[in-house]
Structure 1
Amino acid sequence: MQRLARLGLVAALCGAALAAPAAHASTSYQLRQAGLAARTNGTPLAAGSLALMWRHSRLRDADISQADVLAAMISNRLMADYARSHYAPGQLFDGARVAFSSDTENEMQTVALLRSVHGKALDQAVRALPGGNLNGVVGERAALDAAYLDGVLGPLDKRLLLDFAFTAGQRAAAQQAVLLQYQLPGGSRGAVTLLDVYARQNVQGRVEIQQRNVDFIGQQARAVLANRFVLDWAERTLGARVLEDVRAALDDQAQVKALQAQYGIGADMHAPQPLLKALADKVTQAEIRTYYDSHKDEFRRIEKVKARHVRVASEAAAQRVYQEAAGGADFAELARARSIAGDRAQGGDLGWIEHTERAGWLAQLAMLQPPGVVGQPVRSPVGPNEAAYWEIMLVERRIEGYQPPGDDSVRYAASQAIAQRKAVAAYGALREQLAREARVEISPDYAPAAAPGPGRTRRSSK
């Protein structure tokens, strides 16, 4: 299957889809006549779309094949369709309030992809405009200033806002507030409104609009026009079908990434992960013990340390003691001579410090230091009205062991790891199931040879 397995794509798809009986020659003819690379559950994928996605992928991996990219696009389509049918948008994209909207994100990604592949052609298209830039397509512009914005949005709310959203009235007014009008080379006319600018902002951008940042709004209006120019060029040059496919493929990628986050794959560790929590809650003590026994090094800890310290009243004195100790001076003698701590007569001997859940800061400092190395001076964490002092620590011996298997931290860490493993397995099983059940027709122009496999997925034959 060439490099499909390397990309971790759907095994069932790449096994079953790529073995086809000769009876499907008519399907092959239909795909080629229609200029299609494949159909997934009836949804066509244009050969031109695949070519564009392949060229983009080759910018990151020069060895990737069209078959690799096609398999990835089919896999993403199946998983994305599952995500759309089983999750509400708010479940998958719960960060939309502070991030860009999905439509804006898709548009920006599409434009970036087009620029990465067809940057030279796009630059030539811009240079061919009157004046050699996008101003050549702009007609009327609004006299954009704070007074104009106040007239549209009402008086400025001078409160410090962490977020800002148009009211229904402001939205209606912004839709009528034309910032600039344009006519693109293909004859398409349009306008960029204040609502167009607002709709493509994240939380920071919305606050800039609320604060009447005229330069920011003008720059964003030009960005809207620039994106529309690129999309219009792509539709006229590459075809509407190709542009539609690429936007769909990028949306599929976003859906898959969000679905993976539900399974704890590539997700922010601080983000809510209901599936992982449910799986972790069901982990048994026997599973935890098995995990503990096979991953014992993950639960290694310092049991106790034997240490000495020198306490002094100033940072300058601490640096002098540190330099002498690091230079080979006897640490115990330095403590007897320089320390202001009560144990100075014992050479700063702290004895054996054992690992406890509520260890004081000095004990924690001892636990953090490697044995046999004089530690850098550390300022004491005293209150605002207390005199600070500095500690120089020497750990003489350290004894390590393991957290007990019944420890709460062990149960938590093991449960999370087991849940993560189960979630990844469940995601992989879902991906393979969807591939087995899919109706996929792949043109032989893009499908590498493979051994026959089960399922309803097939390759169209020559």
Structure 2
Amino acid sequence: MRKLGTMTVAAMLAFGLPAVAQDASTVVATVNGTDITLGHMIAMRERLPQQYQSLDDQTLFEGVLEQLIQQTALGDQADGLSRRGELVIENERRALAASEIIQRLADDAVTEEQVQEVYDTEYGGAEPTTEYNASHILVESESAAQDLIERLNAGEDFAELARAESTGPSGPSGGELGWFGQGTMVEPFEQAVQELEVGEVSEPVQTEFGWHVIKLNETREQSAPPLDEVRGEIEGQLQMQAVESIVSSAVEDAEASRPETQVDPAAIRNDALLD
């Protein structure tokens, strides 16, 4: 049976013992004199795939702790890291340090004033735009489209005709395209829609996809979205700009140089060089 220098928090709870005060330095196990802390466990849990994050707390706790105990025990049997391992650790440390400073500076770079300024610039003076709800029947020839118009004029149902005759992906849903704004559809289709009255059916319209018979179902005026609706998008935009500025500034300030020696680019695929 494995002997641990410290009883885990989960074990204490299982035995009805009071849990210790918990912070990142709380020791949850000791393996060969090496402490495993709650902080180690949290850091490992953060990087687990999503399916493990949904486990119940007890199962997750025991699983992560067992993994750390196994890794620590195995690590004690190793005679240091291989050169490959040392390089991996150096890269991981470099990447982690870069990620943390970028995240910290990017978060600090986004202020409420900046968010409001971007919103006012992009949406403040925007005029309401018209959105259209339309249906269509797509066929291969103008004569087929014209025949459909005649059948519609004779009283046949548009949606039923679309289900029976349309070659487009919207056919099974009665030709419904839902709501769309300007610039969404190809130009001949969009122009035809804009010229229709609600409930009206178009003449045959040709596009690169074939011939369309279009029915305008409804229109609506779409105003600028409220700030809270686009806040995430704006903050992401500001953070991206901040990151680009941070990276550029860091590289410009660094004393970076490349030796004259030419390295064959194919060498990057030669894993044997690490052995």
What is the TM-score with the length of structure 1 in the denominator?
Answer: 0.28
TM-score (norm 2): 0.42
